[in-house]
Amino acid sequence: MRFLAVDPAKAGIWNTQVFAEYDSTTTDAKRKDLFRNEGTRMKNQCFNPYLPSWEYIPDGEPYIFDGRVYVYGSHDRANGYVFCLNDYVCWSAPADDLSDWRYEGVIYEKTADPLNRDGRMCLYAPDVTVGPNGKYYLYYVLDKAPVVSVAVCDTPAGQYKFYGYVRYPDGARLGEREGDEPQFDPAVLTEGDTTYLYTGFCGIGDKSRTGAMMTVLDPDMLTVREKPVFIAPGSCYGKGTSFEGHEFFEASSIRKYGDMYYFIYSSVAMNELCYAVSKYPHKGFTYGGVIVSNCDMHIDTYKPANKRAYPGGNNHGSIININGQWYVFYHRQTNGTWFSRQGCVELIEIKSDGTIPQAEMTSLGANGKPLEGYGEYSAHIACNLLGLGDEETSAKITQDGRDGDEEQGYIAGITDSTVVGFKYFNCAGIRKVSVKTRGYCKGEFEISTSLGGIVLGVVSVEFTNLWTAFSAELAIPDGTHALYFTYRGSGSASLASFILEE
């Protein structure tokens, strides 16, 4: 089976990553100082994932406050066994330099909620809004509670304090009254003294869950002014609607652009981050399309549309306009599990008719142009992990050490016919490539600029317990290209990085 060669003109638009090497004893305070002082060397290029390779922040909700982009999300662990095991942390970057991400520290601990003093429940995907009083309100749910909790802070990334639960005027908590559907994945948008709260989870085939809900809150940010209404159907209620085939599953997010409301959500396909639009915050939403898929389903510029180009899973994120450019923040799966997710970002376009063409997964983050086609690149920025033809791959992006250890990411489990892809590079005069590998393997990496395309060079590798560089001569044509490394051989290899040289 042969794949389509990529057409750079169709390859979509292009993306931030912070690289830092610290020892495993680095404290929160020290980490903050180190990142604050690294601005100069981090302005070179951006990558996906946009945060360090050892950080796991899925469900990203990006906002601009006072000239900085803040990303709020849940917090997975490296090699986690369930979702969202860690406390909420925050990262931020200058709006004019999305390579310069700063660690803001822990902003909210799971035990701060009165329902979770023993820490048995996890903090699921949050959202943040600025209330009428100028304070910052953090909305979230615990994984086993049907209610929406709220915390408050005077600054975007300070220490949030528990504030209360979203409740009806009589004090009953939203999600617990008879007839209420359980609350999940809150998204919030404040206009004037009104806050719109979007929630919901609809398991496939579960007729007890109707769809995504919208509830209007009073200026106190807790009290229900208008009871929930349904704005997007779940899997059992989408037939005959514009949502059919892309019904609401979870991951509510809400943005307003011009006079239109954009409801972003994860569909029943899970890997899709979709959107719906309406002139109203509470009704009239129609399905718009897929913004991004974390396995590149539907993208046919370099592969068949129904071919998974990465081990996908659930998805959650949102869109934001930064200095006139639109971006989608989403997450990918790593460590061979759904429970260790990392945030990625791609450039997108909102066209004059309000539609958003689907973005392609890349290694670029917020780079805005192809990466420099020379030098050394960490393997963890791979955007494609797949097998040839109909084969799947067991390869995974992972790290050594325990959760919290600031170990550089790499790719493990590369076996015969595994393809590792990186996009995109502006190459000129490249005549040599090296790969740093380790593991019980004996074979070779074939290098090409398209899936199933002409092999431009072959790097032979062999067993080694230490990261070892193996090299070969080749000629990469000048121009903008993807780079694909296909392993042929026995055993299982790990890939730390590759080096392009003139």
Of 369, 390, 425, which one is at a domain's C-terminal end? 369
Domain at 448, CATH number: 2.60.120.260
Give the end-to-end CA distance of the chain in Å, rounded to a whole number.
Answer: 32
Residues 279 and 197 in one domain: yes
Q: Tell me the pLDDT band of 389, cut-offs 50, 70 and 90.
A: confident
Residues 36 and 163 in one domain: yes
Distance, in Å, from the CA atom of 277 to the CA atom of 260, rounded to the nearest integer, reads: 7
Asked if the structure places residue 486 within a domain, the reply is yes
Residues 303 and 377 in one domain: no
Q: How many domains does the chain have?
A: 2
Asked if the structure places residue 79 within a domain, the reply is yes
Q: Is the pLDDT at 7 greater than 70, yes or no? A: no
- Percent of the chain predicted with pLDDT > 70: 91
Helix, strand, coil percent values for the chain (each to nearest 5): 5, 45, 55
Rounded to 5 degrees, what angle do the CA atoms 38, 43, 48 make? 100
Residues 315 and 339 in one domain: yes
Q: Which of 103, 99, 10, 102 is nearest to 48 (CA)?
A: 99
Residues 95 and 154 in one domain: yes
Residues 303 and 240 in one domain: yes
- Find the helix or strand (DSSP H, E) in which 32 lies: helix 28-36
Q: Tell me the pLDDT band of 391, cut-offs 50, 70 and 90.
A: confident
Asked if the structure places residue 1 within a domain, the reply is no
Domain containing residue 473: 372-501
Q: What is the DSSP string of 56-98?
A: ---S-EEEEETTEEEEE-----TT-SSS--SPEEEEEEETT-T
Residues 358 and 407 in one domain: no
Q: Tell me the pLDDT band of 43, cut-offs 50, 70 and 90.
A: low
Asked if the structure places residue 324 within a domain, the reply is yes
Q: Is the pLDDT at 419 greater than 70, yes or no? A: yes
Asked if the structure places residue 346 within a domain, the reply is yes
Residues 359 and 455 in one domain: no
Residues 153 and 296 in one domain: yes
Which pLDDT belongs to residue 402?
94
Catalytic residue numbers read: 59, 250
Asked if the structure places residue 3 within a domain, the reply is no
Residues 338 and 265 in one domain: yes
Domain at 126, CATH number: 2.115.10.20
Residues 382 and 343 in one domain: no
pLDDT digits (tens, 9 = 90+) for 325-373: 999 999 999 999 999 999 999 999 999 999 999 999 999 999 999 999 9
Asked if the structure places residue 2 within a domain, the reply is no
Distance, in Å, from the CA atom of 308 to the CA atom of 384, rounded to the nearest integer, reads: 9
Which pLDDT belongs to residue 44?
73
Asked if the structure places residue 477 within a domain, the reply is yes
Three-state DSSP state, 36? helix
Q: Is the pLDDT at 497 greater than 60, yes or no? A: yes
- Percent of the chain predicted with pLDDT > 90: 90
- Find the helix or strand (DSSP H, E) in which 35 lies: helix 28-36
In the numeric block, the tokens 């081990």 are attached to 311
Residue 338: both structure tokens together: 């759904």
Residues 393 and 346 in one domain: no
Amino acid occupying residue 126: P
Please say whether the beta carbons of 433 and 396 come within 8 A. Answer: no
**What is the rounded average pLDDT for all residues in the chain?**
92
Of 318, 346, 369, which one is at a domain's C-terminal end? 369
Distances (CA, A) of 383 to 54, 137, 205: 17, 34, 32
Of 309, 336, 369, which one is at a domain's C-terminal end? 369
